[in-house]
Structure 1
């Protein structure tokens, strides 16, 4: 165990003996634009009470220059991760002067160079424990305190933090901004961003409360920023949560900054929410993309209460914020914005993530056993987010909506600016609902696995029995030939077999309305109806549940892959819900690549490419559907070259693009990458395209396309770059990995399988967990045998638990693929 990998037991002991009063953090970022400078000056002054004479501060940086304890400078006892403090009094003031390191991985203080205008941008990202990469601190969520940030940066830059600026002084070419103290918060949600950001300002008011709003992005992206749309969703969310939580927004301001090379979708830093700038659309975007962005905005906003105001004690109860935010994001989207079908995307897309995660051998309860930070890092997964949100949806139905929100309001009042566990939440919900929720918690929060429900005659059958409240929708054809629900039967089930009285119907849909968390199987007659008439189901939520049932059955080897692909080919062109269409297109592509027997793969690759290309032409010109099919065409064209000539002609201007299709930079790069992967694009082609789009996104796409070329020397260079070039940013690392894998050319890359396993442990030791995780997952061999991975697991029983978890999960994915392909693997 390295001293950087904090454990639950030692942090609990520290918080029991240390009470933090406040922090003052001074950062000198004036030299950030000089990229030859690796570090920045960071000074922390922390005041705390202690009942012990010795403790430690956490810091990951280039150097600790001095440590002062209660006015006396002491020798720095620093091992690269911890600064040991001795001789403590009842009340202490400690100052640490150190040098932090600018990040290229998105962890800590990330520094980005914009090639478009030669500008430098900085932003922080800490969860779960990377604040210590920027300033010395007690790095654990239950040691909250007010923070005062003082930041020196070039004059003219936007400098923002959790609070508004109290004072700004300018000296020469630099400015120093001192921010107002925050309310008590955890280290992982403190934040700073600095650079020549473009800013749009507005405000939101309710009663006597007025909150300043800001939306920021890189200056070179300002022309693409649809700030009015973002601000509209922001105001709608603040209205919704203020009304339902009955606790005024407490953080003073609400800035939202879209940042480059971001590892996440977003992060809920109070007063300064950070988002991936993928949400600033450089070209055409589908309704599903706008809906996803709105959901993310509202998800992060829900955290202002669930997570920021009331925070879990330790990462075991990560669900106390993430499950709630996932649920609230969908609820607020559906009830407060134009995205009234938000539960459709949730049922089909978010829950698919949960079902996948919950079937792995590394599945865990929603309330997980998180012993250390490495385990915490990997638990930001489909169980913590989507399964937890699904279970909360059930809980709301179980206790009643009014009791649920009343319990939430009690929770905020009782624990504002504090830390909680599961018991604290259940106490407040039980008090309002007059229900003992301990049994519900045992059944849903403290167990693992997903039930599968099916109809067997006049019984509902479930695997892995647990209590459900679900509905069976009975769908029949109306006079126009559409499948509409004519009846609905709700039933409580808890056993393996539960009798139910249902009248005959062409389609009997279990879990109609998506009331519970379970995989659904269609009975034989219903499947036959769906195969003929899926496009006649009018209700998008019902279609979403059907598509989900079909995909789960395909993944489990109970529905032939060809039958799923046939339905995707036949019915996806008529799918009007963009979230569903996007999911089906992605699933079909994945099924062809991973689940089809090798002998059938080439035929389906060609048929799918032709289906996508036909749909591009038949979709409404300029529509989101057309764009989605164009993107699917690019994906399909990476493994089938039959449309390479026409795609190349379109890109070079020698042929017209399909009517209405806008060839924005991202779509152009997708087509060029496909051509590169099939050998139909030269270095000169890709360099010319880079000249056309010499932006940060363009350079990343160029790197990906260059690595995609089907040449042994190209693959060798990409492999070396991935492992040996430690200057690669997180985005560039992803691009190199994607390019290396593009085209599914096992004939070119299978020779690296042995080296992959040999380099796992050195990579884990030498890289940050974020970058190491990308390499472990991204390069896992798509082999036809489990023997190499099994040999590694057997020989590496003492490898770090987080690394073994990733390898075990990848093994399980491969085993599933081999089973579905009929190769007989266990």
Structure 2
């Protein structure tokens, strides 16, 4: 048998037609996990199911399959490394598969992490979209749900967790055997296990059906940052308010029993919605100063995952082409709940700037896809966790809520859950529920927004005599507001707003009294629709003069986004964009908008500035950031944002290397109120390393200050960033060849290779990149291969090598070609926009 790890939609649909899964009993033995050389663990599953077929397969990606028992009779092991064949099935079946699983260091399956601070070992699982088969034998597809019973054998003294509440615990040789309560019906990808000496903070939610235990957990060495900062209390408060809100909004009280939230190391995602055991990246445990935007982002993620307890966990898509049924709704619900229940009233401002910005970039790639996508197999599913599925979907849902009304939308959601609880659904099921409660026909809306690709670009032409015309490319229906702003002194004040329904390419707006005195005309004021906004020349001039003086943060978000899109398209010169950021970012009061503007400025220099101007612009931008850092209020979010911007800018210019070195060494004072926490110190040190101002002794000294896992990862990046050809070559080869690198260590190594944009140090490896990517795709896990393909793509000055690879590899896996095509498109944009820059 040949390996068949990449499951397809058609074959899993055929399997589901012949299988009726009932229960799965899993037992895994983790007693050996603490051994320094631990790589494997015993695992077994007993699956109880009805069948109308004589044979099928069970999925397992592990070290070995040792025994297969079908209805009490052992069978010869038929296993190709991915599928276990089982034969002789009856109408009712009990199948046990015993084997050996492998611990992961890539964040896929059962990840094993050893904390360098105290040598404690921590384990956790991450399965989406199809990695539970790396931990136990399963039917790995979302439409074969089961009731699960977990038994985990672990060392004494460990926290041991799964989806259900702990039901029994008994001592066994070398550890403890923990059994968990049977779950309600779940898909395999949202089952979960975690084990280790995690620190736990307890809480409770007093819901309408009785108290629900809450837990917030992290590594013991991080506990002071979680507890002493008050963050654990903040997280519990958001959780309690969120459970109140969603239980009411969706008409069904949280059904999964306990609600544990665990922050785990070396995590590939932001979070994962395993019912009863939600996993989060421990980047949300702040080791130092954090802005309001960072706290808001954490709250949004908490609420996003909580929405999944209904959208995704309770009612689950049948296959991954309806992935949006959970992710778009969770993205929308996270922002909505952050405003109404989370305590962050500006969450829609952040959404407009950050999440929609992600969607706009994704939707302009040649690989864009409808929100309801065609997903033929698991490799395609893995890559579809993108800006279309999440943020574009959430954006059009926001429009839908406005279209049908908020009350009708949530009534429709309640009907949807009542009809499909613990089942699997498709788009039609949701539309039917919403149509029933709203009385509106949503099929045309679905065709226009869910089943199309691309987006409109909306602008306004001034026709004279007070008349305006709204112009859109790629016409589709929009309901939006056109805001009219004029200067009163130095402030841009809104003079009025016009609601417009548009569907055609050109839509006249009735004459407006006093329009000729309007300085800025803002399409999509209030960010109601999903479209790229282009300002006319007069409005751009007005924004350049008065952007930061506009009171409405949402209006500023739309303007900031419009200016950035014009820069990305080569219509607004990079130098002018940087001037606008330099003038208005120091006065931007919204922390998320400020952080995004600073990141875009840095990106513009590295990608879009003409080569002849890049060094000068980089030095000027560093001076802008340095000046703003010292001028920012002590201890403010702005001060922290500018300190981080200084670090990013200093990786391309060493103009302030002496001052940064002196501050880090304690020979000079930092700006008053600025906390030189470990993250900021490492950021600055990495920048200094990229420009040749850090040696091994300085890096070692910093590691002695911060020997945490985060410090060791940063140390790796600092060493790899040194601007020496031999150093970069070593890092390059380590990224491809050292399979002992964890996912985080690989990221750090790649960051070092790319540090400072020093193409001269790595361009000799361009051909090596194209020789390696296809073998890497075949040999490495998709998560690791994806990082290599994206992270080490050559930022050359020609498209010829990538075009040659694409021509020669037409038969490469579709998911790999998609990544390469996307990287090619980014490079093509870089080259196109650089060529459009005016000569200075």
Question: Which sits farther off after the overlay, 605-614 or 557-566?
Answer: 557-566
Partner of 2:310: 305
Contact 2:338 2:347 in 1 (8 A): yes
Deviation, structure 1 residue 668: 0.6
2:365 maps to 1:364: no
1:173 CA drift (Å)? 3.6
Q: Which residue of 2 aligns with 1:522?
A: 535
Partner of 1:171: 172
- The secondary structure found in structure 2 opposite 1:48 is strand
Measure how far apart 1:502 and its partner are. Answer: 5.1
Q: Is 2:541 the partner of 1:532?
A: no
Alignment match, 1:588: 601
Match of 1:232 among 237, 241, 249: 237
Q: State the alpha-carbon separation in 2 of the partners of residues 362 and 54 from structure 1.
A: 38
CA distance in 2, matches of 1:268, 1:325: 10
Q: How does 1:663-678 map to 2 (within 5 A)?
A: 663-678=676-691
Structure 1 Cα separation of the partners of residues 528 and 324 of structure 2: 20
Pair 1:383 & 2:393 matched: no
Q: Is residue 460 of structure 1 aligned with residue 461 of structure 2?
A: no
CA distance in 1, matches of 2:816, 2:459: 37
* 2:152 corresponding residue in structure 1: 151
> How far apart in 2 are the matches of 1:6 and 1:153?
32
1:798 to 2:798 alignment: no
| SS of equivalent to 1:77 | coil
For residues 682-693 of structure 1, the aligned pairs below 5 Å read: 682-693=695-706
User: Any residues of structure 2 matched to 1:218-617 within 5 Å, and which?
Assistant: 218-225=219-226, 226-457=231-462, 458-478=468-488, 481-501=490-510, 503=512, 504=515, 505-617=518-630
| Residues matched between the structures, number | 823
> In 2, Cα distance between the equivalents of 1:716 and 1:811?
23
Instruction: Please state how far the C-alpha of 1:527 moved relative to its aligned partner.
Output: 1.1
SS at match of 1:759: helix
SS in structure 1 of the partner of residue 58 of structure 2: strand
Structure 1 residue 35: Cα displacement = 3.0
The alpha carbon displacement at 1:563 in A equals 1.2
For 1:529 and 1:476, the matched residues in 2 are separated by: 8
Counterpart residue number, 1:58: 59
Q: Does the 8 A contact of 2:209 with 2:253 survive in 1? A: no
Residue matched to 2:112 = 111
Q: Judge conservation of contact 2:254–2:309 (CA < 8 Å) in 1.
A: yes
User: Post-superposition shift, 1:2?
Assistant: 4.8
Structure 1 residues 749-793: Cα deviation after superposition (integer angstroms, max 9, x where no partner) = 100101000101011011100000000000001111000000000
- The C-alpha deviation readout for 1:186-235, integer Å capped at 9, x for no partner, is 00000000000000001011334221100000000000002001111111
The CA distance in 1 between the partners of 2:117 and 2:85, in whole Å, is 45
- Structure 1 partner of 2:670: 657
Q: Secondary structure at the match of 1:656?
A: coil
Q: How many angstroms apart in 2 are the aligned matches of 1:208 and 1:724?
A: 54
Structure 1 residue 728 and structure 2 residue 723: aligned?
A: no
Task: Encode CA deviations 1:602-656: one digit per residue, 9 max, x unaligned.
Answer: 1110010011111111001111111110011001101101111111111111111
1:98 matched to 2:99? The reply is yes
Counterpart Cα distance in 2 of 1:786 and 1:98: 47
**SS of residue matched to 1:78:** coil
Q: Secondary structure at the match of 2:343?
A: coil
* Separation in structure 1 between the aligned mates of residue 40 and residue 510 of structure 2, nearest angstrom: 70
Q: How much does 1:483 deviate?
A: 2.1
Give 3-state SS (helix, strand or coil) of 2:719's partner.
helix
Structure 2 partner of 1:180 = 181
1:778 counterpart residue number: 791
Question: Cα offset for 1:388?
Answer: 0.2
Deviations 1:767-820, CA, capped at 9 Å, x for gaps: 100000000000001111000000000000000100000000000000011110
Q: Following TM superposition, by how much is the alpha carbon of 1:172 offset from its aligned partner in structure 2, in angstroms?
A: 4.3
Q: TM-score, normalised by structure 1?
A: 0.99
Deviation at 1:476, TM superposition (A): 2.7
Distance 1:140 1:254 in 2: 25
CA contact (8 A) 2:208 2:253 kept: no
Per-residue Cα deviation, 1:532-584 (whole angstroms, up to 9, x for no partner): 11111111000000000000111111111111111011110101100000100
2:658 is aligned to 645
Normalising by the residue count of structure 2, what TM-score does the alignment of the two structures yield?
Answer: 0.97
SS in 2 for 1:402: helix
Query: What are the within-5 Å matches in structure 2 for residues 739-818 of structure 1?
Result: 739-818=752-831
Taking a change above 3 Å as real, the CA distance of residues 209 and 486 of structure 1, as seen in their structure-2 partners, is: farther
Aligned equivalent of 1:67: 68
Residue from 726, 729, 739 that aligns with 1:716: 729
Q: Secondary structure at the match of 2:31?
A: coil
* Correspondence for 1:194: 195
Q: Is 1:33 aligned to 2:38, yes or no?
A: no
Asked if structure 2 preserves the Cα contact closer than 8 Å seen for 1:484 and 1:539, the reply is no
Q: Measure, in 2, the Cα distance between the counterparts of 1:312 and 1:665.
A: 42
Please say if residues 3 and 81 of structure 2, whose CA atoms lie closer than 8 Å, have aligned partners that are also in contact: no
Distance 1:365 1:495 in 2: 21
**How far did 1:484 drift?**
2.6
- Contact persistence 2:719–2:752 (CA under 8 A): yes
Q: Separation in 2 of the partners of 1:512 and 1:637?
A: 36
Instruction: Give the distance between the partners of 2:345 and 2:737, measured in 1 at CA.
Output: 48
Corresponding residue of 1:87: 88
- Aligned-pair CA distance for 1:675: 1.1
Paired with 2:214 and 2:174, the residues of 1 have a C-alpha distance of 28
**Residue-by-residue CA offset, 1:404-450 (whole Å, 9 max, x unaligned):** 11000000000000000000000000111111111110000000001
Shift of 1:346: 0.4
CA deviation after TM superposition for structure 1 residue 171, in Å? 2.6
Q: Distance in 2 between matches of 1:172 and 1:809?
A: 53
- In 1, Cα distance between equivalents of 2:632 and 2:368: 41
Could you list the per-position Cα deviations for residues 511-549 of structure 1 after superposition, in whole angstroms to 9, with x for gaps in the alignment? 011110000111122111111111111110000000000
Instruction: Check conservation: 2:116, 2:709, Cα contact below 8 A.
Output: yes
1:440 aligned counterpart, secondary structure: helix
**Match of residue 465 from structure 2:** none
d(CA) in 1 for partners of 2:688 and 2:249? Answer: 52
Q: Is the 8 A contact 1:675 1:681 kept in 2?
A: yes
Gaps (5+ residues) in structure 1? none
TM-superposed CA distance for 1:486, in Å, is 2.8
